[in-house]
């Protein structure tokens, strides 16, 4: 009996896996937004209760934003409150994490042939699954040609990024990381799912 329970996949994991499958196949048969919000909130609660920790390496790569929910999404008496929505793919948004000499984040959105991209340093607090960051560079590309590239002042930090307290920086608190998708709550309180970009 115990063995059976340990191999059972929780319903919320199945739902979120279906979201990732729908994203990759461009399948319109995707879970209802309310169901996805409930699954995200359950995943967040389990991670906190079980104090699950995800290594930085599992975050590295390129991820396409696929679903988001506003800051009022929460569990109340076990029932999901708040709604969410699938991101229209006419303006695809992508977040990336790469580590060479240091950890870097980039966030981009594309409108037709216009690409807007922000990049900057990041740091990961593994025990809390917390990734703090600051955007310091901006790039505009039109028809695959760079039309502007320069410094970007987010106003979120001043001085040395590494010395800034988390309280002064934007961050994502990740509560589910798989090979196919990642899920987090941002500092502003919103929830999001990003699906792994495949080459």
Q: Please state, in angstroms and rounded to a whole number, the distance separating the CA atoms of residues 6 and 86.
A: 32
Residue % of the chain over a pLDDT of 70:
89
Q: For 86-106, write each residue's pLDDT tens digit.
A: 998 888 999 999 998 899 999
pLDDT in tens, 114-139: 999 999 999 999 889 999 999 999 99
What is the percent of the chain where pLDDT is above 90? 68
pLDDT band at 2 (very low <50, low <70, confident <90, very high): very low
- Concatenate the DSSP letters of all residues of the chain into one string: -HHHHHHPPPHHHHHHHHHHHHHHHT-S----HHHHHHHHHHHHHHHHHHT----GGGT-EEEEEEEEE-TT-EEETTEEES--EEPPTTS-EEEEEEESSSEEEEEEEEETTEEEEEEEEEEEEGGGTEEEE---EEEEEETTEEEEEEE---SS--S-GGGS-GGGS-EEEEEEE-SSEEEEEETTS-EEEEEE---
Q: Stretch 160-185: mean pLDDT, rounded?
A: 91
> Would you say residue 3 has pLDDT above 50?
no
Judge whether residue 18 has pLDDT over 90.
yes
Is residue 183's pLDDT more than 70? yes
Contacts of 74 (CB under 8 A, 6+ apart): 41, 80, 81, 82
Supply the pTM of this predicted model: 0.88
The angle subtended at Cα 173 by Cα 171 and Cα 175, nearest 5°, is 160
Taking the C-alpha atoms of residue 28 and residue 176, their distance in angstroms, rounded to an integer, is: 24
Where along the chain do its domains lie? 2-196
Q: How far apart are CA 54 and CA 195, in angstroms?
A: 17
Q: Give the least confident one: 1-15, 69-83, 110-124.
A: 1-15
pLDDT at 1 over 60: no
Largest Cα–Cα separation, the chain: 62
- 2-196 placed in CATH 2.40.128.280: yes
pLDDT given at position 177: 96
CA pair distance 158, 135, nearest whole angstrom: 12
Residue 159's pLDDT is 64
């Amino acid at each position: 009996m115990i063995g059976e329970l340990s191999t059972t996949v929780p319903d919320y994991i199945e739902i979120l896996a279906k979201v990732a499958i729908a994203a990759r196949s461009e399948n319109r048969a995707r879970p209802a937004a309310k169901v996805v919000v409930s699954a995200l909130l359950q995943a967040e609660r389990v991670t906190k209760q079980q104090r699950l920790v995800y290594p930085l390496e599992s975050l590295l790569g390129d991820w396409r934003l696929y679903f988001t929910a506003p800051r009022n999404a929460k569990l109340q008496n076990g029932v999901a409150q708040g709604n969410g929505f699938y991101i229209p793919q006419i303006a695809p948004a992508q977040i990336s994490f790469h580590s060479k000499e240091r950890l870097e984040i980039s966030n981009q959105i594309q409108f037709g042939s216009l690409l807007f991209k922000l990049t900057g340093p990041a740091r990961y607090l593994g025990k809390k699954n917390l990734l703090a960051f600051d955007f310091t560079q901006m790039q505009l590309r039109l028809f695959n040609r760079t039309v502007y590239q320069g410094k970007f002042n987010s106003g979120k930090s001043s001085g040395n990024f590494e010395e800034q307290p988390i309280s002064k920086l934007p961050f994502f608190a990740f509560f589910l990381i798989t090979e196919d998708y990642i899920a987090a709550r941002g500092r502003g309180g919103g929830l999001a799912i990003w699906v792994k970009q495949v080459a």
